[in-house]
Structure 1
Amino acid sequence: MLKVGLTGGIGSGKSAVASRLAALGAVVVDSDRIARAVVAPGTEGLAEVVAAFSDRVLGDDGALDRAALGALVFGDEAARRRLEAITHPRVRARAAELVAAAPADAVVVNDVPLLVEVGLAPTYHLVLVVQTAVPTRLARLSRDRGMDPAEAERRIAAQADDARREAAADVLLVNDGTRSELHDTVDDLWRDRLLPYERNVRERHAVRPDRPALAEPDPTWPAQYARLAARIRHAAGGDLRVDHVGSTAVPGLTAPDVIDIQLTVPSLAEADGPLADRLAEAGFPRLPGEWWDAPRRVDRVHWAKRVHAGADPGRPVLLHLRVAGSAGWRHALLMRDHLRADPALRAAYLQVKRDLVATAPESAERGTLADPWFDEEHLRAEEWAAQTGWRP
């Protein structure tokens, strides 16, 4: 099962995306619909809302008067939080029931207007954000919902802004065009990413990245790492350390478009236990075989580790599980920080990468640490650490 979070500001067209995904075969769990159901006449939820806000929020028919309630809570953070304390636990419980009832091979899309605001992004395999220019949203709210312009502006202002939603988005669906264009975009996403991602998660198939090609520096790599790291922390539980390592962790460095992440574990036995299953369920299955970091040094040391990879065909990821304090763990952090601190070293490192890709592309990434340049760099990095007082 693949769990997808779908969100977007009021008037963005999120419902159109949800409808298209449902037509393609997704199981859509609509939080707005659930939110209405949990405060329907005769429910405990409605009774609690009336107790908190008085019967002023009831219509003549005894049902919730949403406009009256909205006038009380929008713009009043304390009132909004009182309402959320009543409705959100009920919505989450009902949504969990619907997800549990979905088929094992389903793509489950949770349509959650406040997904970003309440911090739910790490609980999904993928987050889709529908983004539309504010003037277009205002026009839609006026035309389609008959909403007063001032009220529409107030509703938009009460939600997360575009920048905050975009930071949470694994996929940004820009909906400034026609409905047909939006459908084409959603159809491509369904076919090329969501369906194979679901199959990979269900079958615990890790997509091993093909690394040799070097990509220009991508300023979004740190943000992509942050989203992945949040999922890993959520899956791992506890307070295990997560770090961005490898080439994409060094700003401005040309690198293979692969996000390397280091998860610090107390022992390899811990890595081999239930943690491996939790990571696989979160979309990071373990790669088979034995893995180690093996720099070309006189002591011929091998630094054992475990490696997982992403199941998402749209985002290559390698997740290295290394033991806290081990030589391989320390080396990954030291190399990253030394490269960040020294522009000349970055240039030399990049040339080594390019030479390896040019001469032996099939083994470029495997051969990087074994290249003689790294024997010298290991010594330089240790000297730099001693001089600067660096600690991992």
Structure 2
Amino acid sequence: MLKIGLTGGIASGKSVVATRLSGLGAVLVDADALARDVVEPGTPGLASVVEAFGAEMLDGDGRLDRARLGSVVFGNPSQLAVLNGIVHPLVRQAAAGIIAAAPAGAIVVQDIPLLVETGQGSGFHLVLVVDAPDDVRIARMLEHRGMTADEARSRMAAQASREARLAAADVVLDNSGSLADVTAQVDRLWAERLVPFARNLRRSVRAVRAGMAVLSVPQQDWAAQAARLGARIQAAAPDDILAVDHIGSTAVPGLAAKDVIDLQVTVSDLNAADRIAPLLAAAGFPAVPGVGFDTPKPTDPDPAQWQKRFHANADPGRPANVHVRAAGSSGWRYALLFRDWLRNDPQAAALYEDHKRALTGQFAGSKGTHAYAEAKEPWFTDVAWPRMDGWAARTGWAPPSYAS
């Protein structure tokens, strides 16, 4: 199943988006609703709240007086932590039951107000953030919730900052406009990204990539995107993955590149690579058959040193390649050295960019990127290899080592 984390600050309009996704066919897990359910009269959750905060938190009917409890915990981090420690595990348990009952291939949307605060982003295939400027959210709270401006700001201050939520987002839905505007965004996302992503996951295939090799101007958020993808990969097999590194052109600040994130997953050996393949596929990175070797370089012609396993993203909205290599192998070392050489030698980066631009012009009429990729290989061997090897010798560069 495709697991989507949905979040947004108070009064951002997250519930509107959740309702629309549910209407389109998603299985909705509403953390707010579950948080109410787990403290209903007679539940262990309510008993724990009364034990921690006192019987005065109950109204005349024996139900939780939410307004009174809110006045105690909001603005008081220690008290809020106590409440979260009671409610959050119960909500997660209830959510797990709903998810387990979802049909195979479902798109499951978990509506979690504190997704960023609780660091749950790596547990989802995508994180959707519903966003609106702070002044718009304050105005909504004043108009629709009867709050004062100070109360609204206090509620916002108790949550993650807008900047932190945006940094955690794979998709940002702008809800500063009309209901029709945000609904249209959700509908496009559903049809163009979520449904194909779920289908690719079910079939365990990479997303289709159309078009020719086209260089993009450097994107400031490539590193942040790579970090989010890497965290998901690491979380998929923490016992076997030694490291996940951003490699390739998008890992070099200022370098024009195809808009494809390349990641290197370091494992102890290729047996571990094969063992984690199903876990990577479930996390959204299925194996791509027929790609098992890098091109050997003259100083180490042993093909065994250049073996790898290759995976690619099933998400049509974010092309990504995942190279799974054994720690210490020549292919593993080359990928890290090449990246660090380009990062630290502006002339080398310029030389590589010029070479790529020449090839994109040469293969402008070709379909796909295979011919472009093949044409780059001699440059890696004849030009890059001796220069970067010399740079490593001069600077004392060495790859990381991992304790056995």
User: What is the TM-score normalised by the length of structure 2?
Assistant: 0.94
The equivalent residue for 1:10 is 10
The alpha-carbon distance between structure 1 residues 71 and 376, as it changes in their structure 2 partners (threshold 3 A), is same
Cα separation, 2, equivalents of 1:240 and 1:69: 44
Cα separation, 1, equivalents of 2:300 and 2:90: 60
The equivalent residue for 1:297 is 298
Asked if structure 2 preserves the Cα contact closer than 8 Å seen for 1:212 and 1:364, the reply is: no
Asked if structure 2 preserves the Cα contact closer than 8 Å seen for 1:130 and 1:174, the reply is: yes
The equivalent residue for 2:402 is none
Cα separation, 2, equivalents of 1:163 and 1:373: 39
The alpha-carbon distance between structure 1 residues 299 and 152, as it changes in their structure 2 partners (threshold 3 A), is closer
The equivalent residue for 1:235 is 236
The equivalent residue for 1:219 is 220
Are 2:231 and 1:204 aligned? no
The equivalent residue for 1:363 is 370
Are 2:323 and 1:320 aligned? yes
| Mapping 1:303-314, distance limit 5 Å | 303-314=306-317
Which shows bigger deviation, 277-286 or 293-302? 293-302
How many percent of aligned residue pairs carry the same amino acid?
52
Alpha-carbon shift at residue 298 of structure 1 (Å): 7.1
The alpha-carbon distance between structure 1 residues 68 and 345, as it changes in their structure 2 partners (threshold 3 A), is same
Asked if structure 1 preserves the Cα contact closer than 8 Å seen for 2:208 and 2:316, the reply is: no
Cα separation, 2, equivalents of 1:256 and 1:118: 34
Which letter does structure 2 place at the counterpart of 1:194? L
The alpha-carbon distance between structure 1 residues 254 and 369, as it changes in their structure 2 partners (threshold 3 A), is same
Q: What SS does the corresponding residue of 1:109 show, helix, strand or coil?
A: strand
Asked if structure 2 preserves the Cα contact closer than 8 Å seen for 1:296 and 1:369, the reply is: no
User: What is the TM-score normalised by the length of structure 1?
Assistant: 0.96
Q: How large is the Cα RMSD of the aligned pairs?
A: 1.5
Q: What SS does the corresponding residue of 1:108 show, helix, strand or coil?
A: strand
Asked if structure 1 preserves the Cα contact closer than 8 Å seen for 2:14 and 2:130, the reply is: yes
The equivalent residue for 1:263 is 265
Note the alpha carbon deviations across 1:303-362, whole angstroms, 9 max, x for none: 110000000000000000011000000000000000000111111101111222222454
Which letter does structure 2 place at the counterpart of 1:308? H
Asked if structure 2 preserves the Cα contact closer than 8 Å seen for 1:335 and 1:381, the reply is: yes
Cα separation, 2, equivalents of 1:295 and 1:368: 15
Asked if structure 1 preserves the Cα contact closer than 8 Å seen for 2:248 and 2:262, the reply is: yes
Are 2:147 and 1:147 aligned? yes
The equivalent residue for 2:390 is 383
Note the alpha carbon deviations across 1:246-281, whole angstroms, 9 max, x for none: 0000000000000000000111111112x1111000
Alpha-carbon shift at residue 363 of structure 1 (Å): 3.4
Which letter does structure 2 place at the counterpart of 1:218? Q
Unaligned regions of 5+ residues in structure 1, if any? Answer: none
Are 2:248 and 1:246 aligned? yes
Alpha-carbon shift at residue 372 of structure 1 (Å): 3.8
The alpha-carbon distance between structure 1 residues 372 and 171, as it changes in their structure 2 partners (threshold 3 A), is closer
Q: What SS does the corresponding residue of 2:242 show, helix, strand or coil?
A: coil
Cα separation, 1, equivalents of 2:259 and 2:147: 45
Alpha-carbon shift at residue 369 of structure 1 (Å): 5.1
Runs of 4+ off more than 6 Å: none
Which shows bigger deviation, 42-51 or 296-305? 296-305
The equivalent residue for 1:329 is 332
| Mapping 1:107-186, distance limit 5 Å | 107-186=107-186
| Mapping 1:31-50, distance limit 5 Å | 31-50=31-50
